[in-house]
Amino acid sequence: MVVTVKRKAHFNAAHRLFRKDWNDERNFEVFGKCSYPNYHGHNYEVVVSVTGPIEEETGFVIDLNELKKIIKDEVEEPFDHRNFNLDIPEFADLNPTAENITIVIYNRLRPHIKGVLNLSIELHETARNTVTYSG
Amino acid sequence: MVVTVKRKAHFNAAHRLFRKDWNDERNFEVFGKCSYPNYHGHNYEVVVSVTGPIEEETGFVIDLNELKKIIKDEVEEPFDHRNFNLDIPEFADLNPTAENITIVIYNRLRPHIKGVLNLSIELHETARNTVTYSG
Amino acid sequence: MVVTVKRKAHFNAAHRLFRKDWNDERNFEVFGKCSYPNYHGHNYEVVVSVTGPIEEETGFVIDLNELKKIIKDEVEEPFDHRNFNLDIPEFADLNPTAENITIVIYNRLRPHIKGVLNLSIELHETARNTVTYSG
Amino acid sequence: MVVTVKRKAHFNAAHRLFRKDWNDERNFEVFGKCSYPNYHGHNYEVVVSVTGPIEEETGFVIDLNELKKIIKDEVEEPFDHRNFNLDIPEFADLNPTAENITIVIYNRLRPHIKGVLNLSIELHETARNTVTYSG
Amino acid sequence: MVVTVKRKAHFNAAHRLFRKDWNDERNFEVFGKCSYPNYHGHNYEVVVSVTGPIEEETGFVIDLNELKKIIKDEVEEPFDHRNFNLDIPEFADLNPTAENITIVIYNRLRPHIKGVLNLSIELHETARNTVTYSG
Amino acid sequence: MVVTVKRKAHFNAAHRLFRKDWNDERNFEVFGKCSYPNYHGHNYEVVVSVTGPIEEETGFVIDLNELKKIIKDEVEEPFDHRNFNLDIPEFADLNPTAENITIVIYNRLRPHIKGVLNLSIELHETARNTVTYSG
């Protein structure tokens, strides 16, 4: 019996959409006000989905307290109150679009989830903009 | 790397469930109070999902501002503050159930989204009733 | 000990903003697309607040099941799937703005709530527009 | 044209995570405060999804009022204000994890939905914990 | 300049509405299914409001991290995953209605908030039932 | 008949809590991770409440489309995708706490609302932190 469990987490962070190899005009042309130089920010909501069989002993797919701790250590603690462009190593040369942030979260969590379990990440950047990635 | 991006939009509209080729009794028998003659209405919430590879140059699957504009032109502007039965050509002979409204939205948006990208529409008619259609 | 209890209810209805004693041009000039002739509609959410002392015997200000029934009989049943302009007697000569709907709800509920208790109505017409009235 | 319709329902119930064949220490070690002996509870939100072709006559995949009634009879009425461990027969020897509750809901609803239609259950145990099961 | 700051918290707990000095029939007559003997439960959401002047030095009415800690120590930790009737001393002889729980929360927090600041508690027992108390 | 109408708006912005006349250690001691040097950000939700008599002619306290435009011009356009510390003149020497942002919004809107009408601002900085100010 294959079941999906989801755990929601959140963090508040700043970013701007910006490619270092483009000048400001080109960045503004493509990314609009998302490229303003002094950054803006979001209350990011992350929904982490893990899919797999139920363990007969516990009735769990994965212990949600364990999943909560993994998300806290790998995503909430390092990202909360930080600036994606300046503080997070993966974005040193990567544009912190919602798409790319979602993939980075996936890559951070994947090694901590058993290989038999599928992983999917949903990132709500605003109440109207969402991204999902499943590897 | 295949990613899904979602954009939420909304409009307020009136409708009634009604088949012209049935009499009022038959309509009421099948559609209940949704068939009341003077219409009722909803705050419709639409979530448009677009799935495809990330463009390396921009870090986007699709520019969400472009998607926002397409939804505004094809869905929000023509449907907002309108009556599906009386004002929207697709429903001249089609019952405006949430299912059919969802398919009409899909058909309006599909030509404006590149063929390589998958499209899915989720329509929330009330806080408890939702429909999704993916072509 | 004075406490406020709130009960949320909802109904789906159609309306248009329109004064019969103005012509269409004047109505459109003042009410914009809210005056479109074929109506539009909303998922109205109503929050009914009742304030007063806690009854020592029950620990209640008012029995919420009783309040739920009053709201159902006086508001949900008569308004749900109806058209304010055409179906609801109070709006025969009254423009069904969110403000006026809120006052009508207050006037319908007030006789059913004991005089010692204060009553307040909050009406959410959309996720962004709300009205409150307390008599 | 294959469409998914979803209907949301809810109930309030108590439970504790607990295996009768383990002692209290082992239960606490695995289930933490979810195993506290005097129970705790949740406002469970259930989203029932039904997927299939649109019936041409009605424009419905399934009549949502019929689905609403099935959910009320099979889930809301029997579970609301009840204790999963003590009152619900399926949990006499089954740990009432969110995963297992979701599967029990699926099994209760499946016989009432036509075989040609797919069924999926999403259970929100808290605002942060969700489970889905599709048979 | 008088400002109100609000902090939201939550806990999951079980309860039943029940007076020990009434028999089961009388309890059921007054409290309905809320009096079922094996308890039910809720995801309680608490909004704590503190009103007072802004401190010029910090720009705060009260440090929200300090308020968060007070709520955690006095409300979330002691109530979460507990049974109001059996585990919480204030309800040894007090019916745990939402009204009474709200007053108990107020009484637990009041000594930890400076006297010059007003305190108000809003308790959401379900998505539709809310209580507020301000001393 | 005195009624309150509310209009919700939002913007995404960056900030840090920081006093220029304190050194970094003192700022961190008082403001914690909210003082991190590279900024963080939020999806700010603003609810603007206007209270006054209903105009008999229109059935409005204030035309919500007019209020929407005032909020857009004075709050959404100037604040959206901006950095409070660096881009907004009122915060040149003022710490951009949620309290102070709420007061600045009030001061920007007050001159555009007729004096006979009361104004109140509610700012949601996160899903758990809210501030209100009424002049």
Per-residue pLDDT of chain F in tens (135 residues, 90 and over written 9): 899 999 999 999 999 999 999 999 999 999 999 999 999 999 999 999 999 999 999 999 999 999 999 999 999 999 999 999 999 999 999 999 999 999 999 999 999 999 999 999 999 999 999 999 999
**Cα D5 to Cα D19: distance, rounded to the nearest angstrom:** 36
Element (H, E) at B101: helix B98-109
Residue A103 with chain B: CB contacts under 8 Å: 1, 3, 54
Report the sign of the C-alpha dihedral through residues C115, C120, C125, C126, in that order: negative
Low-confidence ranges of chain D (pLDDT < 70): none
> Given pLDDT bands bounded at 50, 70 and 90, which one contains residue A87?
very high
**Does B54 contact A99 at a Cβ distance shorter than 8 Å?**
yes
**Gap from C134 CA to chain E (nearest CA, Å):** 16
Residue B7 contacts A, CB cutoff 8 Å: yes
What backbone torsions phi and psi does residue E85 show, to the nearest 5 degrees? -65, -35
Residue C52 with chain E: CB contacts under 8 Å: none
Per-residue pLDDT of chain B in tens (135 residues, 90 and over written 9): 899 999 999 999 999 999 999 999 999 999 999 999 999 999 999 999 999 999 999 999 999 999 999 999 999 999 999 999 999 999 999 999 999 999 999 999 999 999 999 999 999 999 999 999 999
User: Which pLDDT score, from 0 to 100, does residue D32 have?
Assistant: 96
Residue F30 contacts E, CB cutoff 8 Å: yes
Active site residue C90: no
Asked whether this complex has an ipTM greater than 0.90, the answer is yes
Q: Is F112 exposed, middle or buried (0-12, 13-18, 19+ CB in 10 A)?
A: middle
User: Which residue on chain A is closest to B59 by alpha carbon?
Assistant: A97
H-state helical runs in F8-135: 24-31, 64-71, 77-79, 84-87, 98-109
> Given pLDDT bands bounded at 50, 70 and 90, which one contains residue C102?
very high
Residue E87 contacts D, CB cutoff 8 Å: yes
Q: Name which of C32, C95, C131 is nearest F5 (Cβ-Cβ).
A: C131
Neighbours of F123 (CB within 10 A): 24
**Does B3 contact A32 at a Cβ distance shorter than 8 Å?**
no
Are F and A touching by the rule of 3+ CB pairs within 8 Å? Answer: yes
Q: What is the DSSP letter of D127?
A: S
User: Which pLDDT score, from 0 to 100, does residue E7 have?
Assistant: 98
**Does E54 contact F131 at a Cβ distance shorter than 8 Å?**
no
Contacts with A30 (C-beta within 8 Å, 6 or more apart), sequence order = A17, A22, B58
- Strand boundaries in C22-135, DSSP class E: 40-53, 82-83, 118-124, 129-133
One DSSP character per residue, E1-22 reads -EEEEEEEEEEEEEE----TTS
Residue D65 with chain B: CB contacts under 8 Å: 32
**Does F129 contact E65 at a Cβ distance shorter than 8 Å?**
no
**Does E126 contact D12 at a Cβ distance shorter than 8 Å?**
yes
**Does A82 contact F36 at a Cβ distance shorter than 8 Å?**
yes
Exposure of A98 in the CB half-sphere (CA atoms within 13 A):
28
Q: Which residues of D104-129 are buried (b: 16+ CB within 10 A; e: fewer)?
A: bbbebbeeebeeebebbbbbbbbebb
Tokens of C73: 């009989």
Q: Name which of C40, C86, C127 is nearest B82 (Cβ-Cβ).
A: C40
Residue B132 with chain D: CB contacts under 8 Å: 3-4, 6
**Gap from A64 CA to chain B (nearest CA, Å):** 25
Asked if E62 and E109 touch (Cβ cutoff 8 Å), the reply is no
- Our CA angle for B120, B102, B128, nearest 5°, is 100
Q: What is the largest CA-CA distance in chain F?
A: 59
Residue C131 with chain F: CB contacts under 8 Å: 3-6
> Which residue out of C34, C90, C99, C112 is catalytically annotated?
C34
Residue D82, strand partner residues: D13
Tokens of F81: 């995708």
User: Which pLDDT score, from 0 to 100, does residue D119 have?
Assistant: 98
Interface test with B, best of D3, D45, D66, D67 (most B CBs within 10 A): D3
Domain boundaries defined on chain F: 2-133
> Which residue out of A10, A34, A76, A90 is catalytically annotated?
A34
Residue E7, strand partner residues: E48, F129
**Cα A44 to Cα A42: distance, rounded to the nearest angstrom:** 6
Residue position matching structure tokens 């950054």: A39
Task: Taking residues A3-27, report their average pLDDT.
Answer: 96
Residue position matching structure tokens 């701790």: A69
Residue E129 with chain C: CB contacts under 8 Å: 5-8, 64
Residue A100 contacts B, CB cutoff 8 Å: yes
User: Which residue on chain D is closest to E79 by alpha carbon?
Assistant: D40
Closest CA to E130 of C113, C47, B128, C43: C47
> Given pLDDT bands bounded at 50, 70 and 90, which one contains residue A46?
very high
**Cα B110 to Cα B9: distance, rounded to the nearest angstrom:** 16
One DSSP character per residue, A98-124 reads HHHHHHHHHHHHGGGS-TTSEEEEEEE
Single-letter amino acid, residue C78: P
The CA-atom distances, in angstroms, between E81 and each of A99, D15, E14, F81, F114 are: 37, 10, 7, 41, 50
Q: What is the DSSP letter of E117?
A: S
Q: What is the largest CA-CA distance in chain D?
A: 59
Q: What is the largest CA-CA distance in chain C?
A: 59
Residue position matching structure tokens 């079922």: E36
The CA-atom distances, in angstroms, between C37 and each of B86, C17, E124 are: 10, 9, 40
Between chain C and chain F, how many beta carbons pairs sit less than 8 Å apart? 50
What backbone torsions phi and psi does residue C79 show, to the nearest 5 degrees? -95, -25
Residue A10 contacts F, CB cutoff 8 Å: yes
Q: Report chain F's terminal Cα–Cα distance, integer Å.
A: 22
Fold of A2-133: Tetrahydropterin Synthase; Chain A (3.30.479)
**Cα A25 to Cα A30: distance, rounded to the nearest angstrom:** 9
Residue C8 with chain E: CB contacts under 8 Å: 127-130
Residue D41 contacts E, CB cutoff 8 Å: yes
Q: Which chains touch E (3 or more CB pairs under 8 A)?
A: C, D, F
Tokens of C59: 């620990």
**Does B58 contact A30 at a Cβ distance shorter than 8 Å?**
yes
Are F and C touching by the rule of 3+ CB pairs within 8 Å? Answer: yes
Residue D52, strand partner residues: D3
Residue F31 with chain E: CB contacts under 8 Å: 58
One DSSP character per residue, A32-86 reads GGGG-TT-EEEEEEEEEEEEEEPPTTTS-SS-HHHHHHHHIIIIIHHHTTEEHHH
> Given pLDDT bands bounded at 50, 70 and 90, which one contains residue E40?
very high
Neighbours of A59 (CB within 10 A): 21
Q: What is the rounded radius of gyration, in angstroms, for the C-alpha atoms of chain F?
A: 17
> Which residue out of B40, B74, B81, B122 is catalytically annotated?
B81
Residue D80 with chain E: CB contacts under 8 Å: 33, 40
User: Which residue on chain D is closest to E86 by alpha carbon?
Assistant: D38
Residue E76 with chain D: CB contacts under 8 Å: none
> Given pLDDT bands bounded at 50, 70 and 90, which one contains residue C99?
very high
Residue D128 with chain A: CB contacts under 8 Å: 7-9
Interface test with C, best of F60, F72, F134 (most C CBs within 10 A): F60
**Cα B58 to Cα F103: distance, rounded to the nearest angstrom:** 38
Residue F69 contacts C, CB cutoff 8 Å: no
Q: What is the rounded radius of gyration, in angstroms, for the C-alpha atoms of chain B?
A: 17
Neighbours of E26 (CB within 10 A): 12
Q: Name which of E14, E33, E126 is nearest D43 (Cβ-Cβ).
A: E126
Q: Name which of F1, F6, F47 is nearest C103 (Cβ-Cβ).
A: F1
Active site residue D81: yes
**Does D59 contact B94 at a Cβ distance shorter than 8 Å?**
yes
**Cα D3 to Cα D48: distance, rounded to the nearest angstrom:** 14
Q: Name which of A30, A128, A132 is nearest B7 (Cβ-Cβ).
A: A128
The rounded Cα F133 to chain-centroid distance in angstroms is: 9
**Does A38 contact F12 at a Cβ distance shorter than 8 Å?**
no
Residue D64 contacts E, CB cutoff 8 Å: no
pLDDT in tens, D60-89: 999 999 999 999 999 999 999 999 999 999
Exposure of F121 in the CB half-sphere (CA atoms within 13 A):
29
Active site residue F34: yes
User: Which pLDDT score, from 0 to 100, does residue D58 have?
Assistant: 94
